[in-house]
A and B are shown apart, each in its own frame.
Chain A
């Protein structure tokens, strides 16, 4: 079963998103050890959508489904330009503090916490979709970043 809800494009929605994940994990019996990483990934991806797609008021759809050994989460963002999160550069974490900037850290972190991240965009529907997976046995997603092009985008 999939748990889903649409969220207003505002940082004020973050607590409601966390409430949705907690509810989905409880109802689907998903391992709560995965909750921290899933909440972090959802916050980072959602806040990116809010910050960088400012020309739309469309709500962001979040869908959460149990999979074997873990969870799959999809965020769908309507009426937006493409923003491929799988293409963002890693942060150089070896820089001295004087040269460190917080920008880009969110996507850098979630690549290390998730098993996989997929991005697809429908030009026709102006719709971005990000799907990520986190399982108990999974490994970091650095080698599993996928741009699916328009394959099944926002169907």
Chain B
């Protein structure tokens, strides 16, 4: 995929690209000369500029720039309790020309719960059979029951466009052995081409959805801990080699 320097500049990473081009000494004409061929521009005339130079390809999660959090009401909803998953992967078949033909699959390791619990969990929870609150949330049969269900998966079944750079991704979420359809609200944030990835494109997305955990059989502590779980993702996908 030919990288459009012009687009990269538009996307606001001017500093990085100028540094990559030799400290900003390259004249602007040289940058323009790297623009995609005319036929490519014509073919993508209807595309949003943020999609024009993006490779139709398979992408995988760029794990150092990907965040997935789960928030749930606590204390009857007076505050939001926030948990991150720190080990998950995703494969995205992305079609910039027709995003609705894209597909994605996600896999989350339920053992990778991060609650940021402060202090000594064992000191205050001597009766717990778990070493940490993270482990309790991961392995307790009341929560993610990871020993029995070692994977949470999402496989898309339909993509719809709701705006120029936004849409919905519907798919099958498998959690605690139960598979149910879930719809994500997704925003495409654009393309980056950091020099260390060569010609490979990096594209960014935000996604969110709300699921009812009781539908997957997790009913512990409702309503003190909310049934409604908000899942949020922001991160980058790197074009496969």
Q: A and B: partners?
A: no
